[in-house]
Chains A and B, each alone.
Chain A
Amino acid sequence: MKHKWAMVIDMDRCTGCGACVVACVAENNTPTAGEEEAGKGRLMQWLRVSRFWKKEGEDTRAIFVPTPCMHCEKAPCEIVCPVYATYHDEDDQVNAMVYNRCIGTRYCANNCPYSVRVFNWWNHQWEKPLDEQLNPDLSVRSRGVMEKCTYCIQRIRRGKETALKEGRKIRDGEVVPACAQTCPPGAILFGDLLDPDSAVSRMVKDPRLFKLMEHLGTEPKTAYLKKQKGPGR
């Protein structure tokens, strides 16, 4: 069963609260780098909320852009990996990462225009009792490998298995990544583009739709809905 998973982030709804980041960290066994390391640019979070300042006359307004992996259809990270540690998953059309194969050239991170890939600079530890919170559905990455947002591939797999067991097609909204599940205003929407009736398939027809750095031709599957102006929006 083929799928084409995609994400739509509504900038109108995003408040920049950062709950998605927390959910992602909890779901994906992402280590916490600590204050000092974070200052050195070694945050391990797979999803960051980029903040930009925009001047509007007298006022300065903050713009929040939640940036997960774009899961590009023409992914620049994939072609440069010398060992196929990152590749295109045929069934789910996501950009997958094989930690055991990764040797840590970090070329993929250099070639990612969105800079969403993070590297394990250290062997991260989960002090007791924090190790109790680790998610058993996916591995804890070792030092020296790259990692990045997987669209919560473990949840996708779980959803597909359940559907297969029950002998039916996967339902729209059955698979929800941690960030989308947590987002308080519901700004993040996730679904299958190959299902014409899914919510994302409807959302991608929205005239507000844009993609980050579309001119680079990477064809990202994570898309955004533009913020609207004026009253009554």
Chain B
Amino acid sequence: MSERHHLERQGEGGLYETLSRSNLVTTKGWYAAAGVLFALTAAAVGVFLYMMATGLGVTGLSRPVMWGTMIILFVFWIGLSHSGTLISAILRITQAGWRAPVLRGAEAMTVFALMVGGLFPLMHLGRNWRFYYMIPYPNERMLWPNFRSPLLWDMVAISTYLTGSILFLYFGMIPDLAAARDHATGWRKKLYTFLAAGFRGSHSEWRRYHVASTLFAVLIIPVAVSVHSIVSWDFAMAMVPGWHSTIFAPYFVAGAIYSGIAGVITVMAFLRRVFRLEHFLTVRHFDNLGKLLLTMTLIWGYFYFSEFLTTWYSRLPEDWELISSYGTHYLPLFLVMLTCNFLIPLPALCLSKVRRSIPAMFAVSLVVNVGMFAERALIVVPSLARRNDPSVWLGYFPTWVEISYIVGSVSMFALLYVLFSKLLPVMAISDIKEHLFRTTDRSIGAATVPSVAQEEEGEGE
């Protein structure tokens, strides 16, 4: 209700100011947050340089567990990146009326999670300084990378997705950058003038913008789906018991969207609180995102169950050894996953009371991502620790080096987001404005006329 009359109370300038509060006022709190996050990120980078100088022996890795925390983090962050662009694209295509305030934050999340996640495959290389061997560049030995290797598909897919997501984020931002350009002064004016690429808001510009953004949204969906399928094939293509499974691609995509939606909810709750966007990010958005999350909980649970059941029923010795290790050595991890991914979110999200309470949704979204981290760990580690030959079986536990990467990756993601919120419009101003115009009353002289689009929108409230 408050949303409906909001536009009337303040003019367009006021709307811009409310939505861009993050860009306009730099508080001490911002400096403190950015400083702490920067310090943590820099510390993790320092640890990485130490690892690069000494050798991968400083990790907890061994034979047979050749992949560990860094690969878990890779899958986790790439998964987290999946919501953003995908949700945004789907909401744009389906013309969901409530999408506007969610778009930008979700798209930015994709870009930053990809930036963080994409670092880990490079970090975990034995000789990081030779990473460019994977790039097909012309060289005197006529050596090419091996296109049969899923790792190479991975590199191609992730760089495509990162490029696509950055363009998608930037493209959607152009009208907002133009609005920012019109209001800003000083160095910001120069920055926004450059970034807005001369957008003036003429009829033809808007028409092209709408066509292009629809095209973009349609094209980015297959890319997003393929990326996480390919990440799953890093595992599924290998003949490792527990990895070699046809269900992995859809299962990973579902898991990625699941953790991604939870991530979007976490970020939205933060933005709402910190930049006082209570008028725009309303309970209704959290309710809707909560319903999406509930759907994904069910889909994830279904995939997990069907994968588990076939292995349990057939009891092939190699797979069975793996599954039984879930009940013994890896029981804590398994219980964390089951509780956080299914037993807590399923009943909680069924209750509209929970979905409509922002602190509760914030808590549920964090719980889901803890569970998803455990799920990724459970995919990567036990399958390797219980390989075909029992004589090499061994446990795995991350060392302080790998734990600092976990902390560092979270802080790097947060740092990128904090910097982004200071420099660029975090809310899709033009989309919100469009939405408000459709749903609010117009004043013509002294008369108040309801806009026609209001009824088509079919608002439930």
Residues on A lying within 8 angstroms of B by beta carbon are 37, 40-43, 48, 50-52, 65, 67, 76, 79-84, 101-107, 109-111, 113-115, 117-123, 142-146, 213, 216
A115 touches B67 (CB 8 A): no
Indicate if B238 sits at the interface (CB-CB under 8 A).
yes
Given A83-B133, A84-B145, residue A145 in contact with residue B63 (CB < 8 A) = no
Complex formed: what's the CA distance from A76 to B148 in Å? 11
Nearest chain B CB to A79 CB, angstrom units: 5
Indicate if B179 sits at the interface (CB-CB under 8 A).
no
What is the predominant secondary structure among interface residues of chain A facing chain B? loop
A40 touches B62 (CB 8 A): yes
Partner of B389, one of A50, A117, A144, A146: A50
The contact size tier of chain B is 35 or more
Given A107-B238, A109-B63, A115-B389, residue A83 in contact with residue B384 (CB < 8 A) = no
Partner of B146, one of A67, A82, A144: A82
5 nearest CB pairs, A to B: A104-B126, A144-B126, A41-B62, A50-B391, A121-B57
Residue of B nearest to A217 (CB): B239
Residues on B lying within 8 angstroms of A by beta carbon are 54-57, 60-67, 121, 124-127, 130-131, 133-134, 143-146, 148-152, 155, 234, 237-240, 384, 387-392, 394
For A41, list chain B residues within 8 Å (CB).
62-65, 392, 394
Given A80-B237, A115-B387, A143-B55, residue A103 in contact with residue B66 (CB < 8 A) = no
A115 touches B133 (CB 8 A): no
For A82, list chain B residues within 8 Å (CB).
133-134, 145-146, 149, 151-152, 155
Complex formed: what's the CA distance from A111 to B383 in Å? 11
Nearest chain B CB to A21 CB, angstrom units: 13
What is the predominant secondary structure among interface residues of chain B facing chain A? loop
Partner of A101, one of B143, B240, B388: B143
Given A50-B391, A113-B387, A113-B389, residue A122 in contact with residue B55 (CB < 8 A) = yes
For A37, list chain B residues within 8 Å (CB).
57
Complex formed: what's the CA distance from A45 to B60 in Å? 19
For A52, list chain B residues within 8 Å (CB).
390-391
Complex formed: what's the CA distance from A120 to B133 in Å? 19
Nearest chain A CB to B101 CB, angstrom units: 41
Partner of A48, one of B121, B146, B237, B391: B391
B57 touches A144 (CB 8 A): no
Complex formed: what's the CA distance from A113 to B240 in Å? 7
A113 touches B149 (CB 8 A): no
For B131, list chain A residues within 8 Å (CB).
103
Nearest chain A CB to B76 CB, angstrom units: 18
B239 touches A119 (CB 8 A): no
Complex formed: what's the CA distance from A84 to B145 in Å? 7
28 A-B pairs in the complex with CB atoms less than 8 angstroms apart: A37-B57, A40-B62, A48-B391, A52-B390, A65-B391, A80-B149, A80-B238, A82-B146, A82-B151, A82-B155, A83-B145, A83-B146, A102-B126, A102-B127, A103-B125, A105-B124, A105-B125, A106-B67, A109-B63, A110-B67, A110-B384, A113-B239, A119-B66, A119-B126, A120-B126, A143-B55, A144-B55, A144-B125
